[in-house]
């Protein structure tokens, strides 16, 4: 069976945000054109084994590609029969959205945009090193609507150094006024080798865990009040239509595939993939990535065949990020393992601590367990 999910990494950003540990760098000279040619070749390499129902162009900043570069990528996607997905997302930075580009993407079959707003406070945007203003978020959002996008995600962050609860509430209100179909809200993480991590280590900024908890509680309240249903620790979506609410209808299918342990191809520098029980990672260096592909070689720097139990443990851990948790029968179907045997003691401990419940053939975290899902998930790794 061909793989049904495709991730494409576009490794360019106008400048580096102070908290970012993703592989991305400034575009220079002919690098972007060289990357586009290499990417098209890599797509040719995987096309025979890929019929994507979901596609995600992330980065980096995919919207930084010019119209001509996008045309080349989209033409290749079409020629290789990689287009036509049920859900096709492209990440955009508010500083690099134009009506022409948005229309081009929409006409090629892109039907979902994920836009990084992060905060609606100018001072905090500066602190994060974002290249856009609050006005640009509003303008780009309107542009996306004008181009026909009716499925838009906004990314926000909380626990940004110096951010007050009021500032976070204002950002949530501003996001609610735009009425995007989806909202992703992440706590700032101090990743090694980022300027923000160095500032924390040097004592120039503080991490306030109590305030972060208060912000997360506020997020849950405000998101529910604005009509977004939480379906994962950091993800909220609208639910439309009459179908009973299991997963909200605007939930991101591509990410759900990751959390449910599904296969996916990853192309572009630093992209990870998971196919046939093997996890891969492409080389995280754009020049070396291009060289490898120009020599006709696959650009992977790591491949790892996980044991079946280790993989099942990871799948359990990822799935617990979702409000639905795991149905026992679904977990057994996906992984071949029984949660009630291998992980009975771990589940029991979490239930005792009120971090999780077992209900209707399902194991899931409680709202307080969700707040510490990463710690809970560690229990399941083997």
CB of 99 to ligand SF4, least distance (A): 21
Residue with tokens 């401990």, as numbered in its chain: 349
CB of 258 to ligand SF4, least distance (A): 18
User: Is residue 52 a contact point for ligand SF4 (CB under 6 A)?
Assistant: no
Please give the structure tokens belonging to residue 144: 């996306």
What is the rounded distance in angstroms from the CA atom of residue 177 to the CA atom of residue 269? Answer: 36
CB burial class (10 A; 0-12, 13-18, 19+) of residue 113?
buried
CB of 181 to ligand SF4, least distance (A): 21
Pick one of 4, 6, 9, 24: the residue that binds ligand SF4 (CB under 6 A).
24
What is the rounded distance in angstroms from the CA atom of residue 285 to the CA atom of residue 270? Answer: 7
> Considering only 9-17, 49-57, 65-73, 345-353, which stretch makes contact with ligand SF4 by CB under 6 A?
9-17
> Considering only 55-63, 172-180, 245-253, 304-312, which stretch makes contact with ligand SF4 by CB under 6 A?
55-63
CB of 20 to ligand SF4, least distance (A): 3
CB of 116 to ligand SF4, least distance (A): 6
User: Is residue 20 a contact point for ligand SF4 (CB under 6 A)?
Assistant: yes
User: Is residue 94 a contact point for ligand SF4 (CB under 6 A)?
Assistant: no
- Closer to ligand SF4 by Cβ: residue 9 or 182: 9
User: Is residue 151 a contact point for ligand SF4 (CB under 6 A)?
Assistant: no
Nearest 5°: the CA angle 189, 351, 355 is: 25
What is the rounded distance in angstroms from the CA atom of residue 260 to the CA atom of residue 321? Answer: 10
What is the rounded distance in angstroms from the CA atom of residue 30 to the CA atom of residue 28? Answer: 6
- Contact of 357 with 351, CB cutoff 8 Å: yes
- Closer to ligand SF4 by Cβ: residue 272 or 275: 272
Q: Pattern 95-134, binding to ligand SF4, x per CB under 6 A?
A: ---------------------x------------------
User: Is residue 268 a contact point for ligand SF4 (CB under 6 A)?
Assistant: no
User: Is residue 61 a contact point for ligand SF4 (CB under 6 A)?
Assistant: yes
Nearest Cα residue to 175 out of 219, 217, 233: 219
Nearest Cα residue to 11 out of 176, 122, 20: 20
- How many residues belong to the site for ligand SF4 (CB under 6 A)? 11
> Considering only 59-67, 257-265, 293-301, 356-364, which stretch makes contact with ligand SF4 by CB under 6 A?
59-67
Handedness of CA 118, 123, 124, 128 (dihedral sign): positive
Pick one of 3, 5, 6, 17: the residue that binds ligand SF4 (CB under 6 A).
17
What is the rounded distance in angstroms from the CA atom of residue 1 to the CA atom of residue 11? Answer: 30
CB of 346 to ligand SF4, least distance (A): 34
- Closer to ligand SF4 by Cβ: residue 47 or 283: 283
User: Is residue 319 a contact point for ligand SF4 (CB under 6 A)?
Assistant: no
Q: Is 165 left (phi over 0), alpha (psi -120 to 50) or beta?
A: alpha
What lies within 8 Å, CB to CB, of 188 at 6+ separation is 19, 157, 158, 159, 160, 161, 196
Pick one of 4, 52, 59, 248: the residue that binds ligand SF4 (CB under 6 A).
59
- Contact of 120 with 175, CB cutoff 8 Å: yes
Residue with tokens 């046939």, as numbered in its chain: 276
User: Is residue 194 a contact point for ligand SF4 (CB under 6 A)?
Assistant: no
User: Is residue 282 a contact point for ligand SF4 (CB under 6 A)?
Assistant: no
User: Is residue 25 a contact point for ligand SF4 (CB under 6 A)?
Assistant: no
CB of 117 to ligand SF4, least distance (A): 11
User: Is residue 269 a contact point for ligand SF4 (CB under 6 A)?
Assistant: no
What is the rounded distance in angstroms from the CA atom of residue 215 to the CA atom of residue 223? Answer: 12
What is the rounded distance in angstroms from the CA atom of residue 294 to the CA atom of residue 288? Answer: 10
CB of 16 to ligand SF4, least distance (A): 5
Pick one of 54, 63, 89, 93: the residue that binds ligand SF4 (CB under 6 A).
93
- Closer to ligand SF4 by Cβ: residue 82 or 144: 144
CB under 8 A, 24+ apart: contacts of 201-206: 205/161, 205/162, 206/161
**Residues found near ligand SF4 in the complex (CB under 6 A):** 13, 16-17, 20, 22, 24, 59-61, 93, 116
């Amino acid at each position: 069976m061909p793989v049904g999910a495709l991730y494409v990494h576009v490794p360019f950003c106008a400048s580096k945000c102070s908290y970012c540990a993703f592989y991305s760098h400034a575009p220079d000279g002919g690098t972007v054109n060289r990357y586009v040619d290499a990417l098209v070749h890599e797509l040719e390499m995987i096309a025979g084994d890929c019929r994507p129902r979901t596609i995600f162009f992330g980065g980096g900043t995919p919207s930084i590609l010019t119209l001509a570069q996008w045309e080349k990528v989209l033409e290749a996607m079409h020629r290789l029969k990689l287009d036509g997905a049920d859900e096709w997302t492209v990440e955009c930075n508010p500083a690099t959205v134009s009506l022409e580009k948005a229309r081009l993407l929409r006409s090629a079959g892109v039907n979902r945009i994920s836009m990084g707003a992060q905060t609606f406070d100018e001072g905090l945007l500066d602190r994060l090193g974002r290249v856009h203003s609050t006005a640009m978020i509003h303008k780009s959002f309107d542009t996306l609507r004008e181009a026909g996008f009716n499925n838009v995600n906004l990314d926000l962050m909380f626990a940004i150094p110096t951010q007050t609860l009021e500032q976070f509430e204002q950002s949530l209100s501003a996001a609610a006024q735009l009425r995007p179909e989806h909202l992703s809200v992440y706590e700032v993480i101090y990743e090694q080798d980022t300027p923000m991590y160095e500032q924390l280590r040097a004592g120039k900024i503080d991490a306030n865990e109590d305030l972060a908890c208060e912000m997360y509680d506020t997020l849950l309240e405000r998101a529910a009040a604005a009509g977004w249903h939480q379906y994962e620790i950091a993800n909220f979506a609208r639910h439309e239509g009459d179908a009973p609410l299991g997963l909200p209808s605007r939930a991101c299918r591509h990410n759900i595939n990751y959390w449910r342990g599904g296969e996916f191809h990853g192309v572009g520098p630093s992209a990870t993939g998971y196919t046939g029980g093997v996890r891969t990672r492409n080389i995280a260096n754009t020049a070396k990535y291009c060289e490898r592909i120009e020599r006709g070689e696959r650009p992977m720097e790591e491949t790892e065949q996980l044991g079946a139990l280790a993989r099942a443990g990871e799948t359990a851990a990822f799935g617990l990020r979702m409000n639905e948790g795991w149905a026992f029968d679904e977990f057994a179907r996906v992984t071949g393992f029984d949660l009630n045997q291998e992980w009975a003691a771990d589940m029991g401990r979490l239930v005792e601590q009120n971090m999780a419940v077992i209900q209707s053939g399902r194991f899931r975290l409680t709202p307080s367990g969700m707040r510490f899902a990463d710690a809970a998930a560690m229990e399941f790794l083997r």
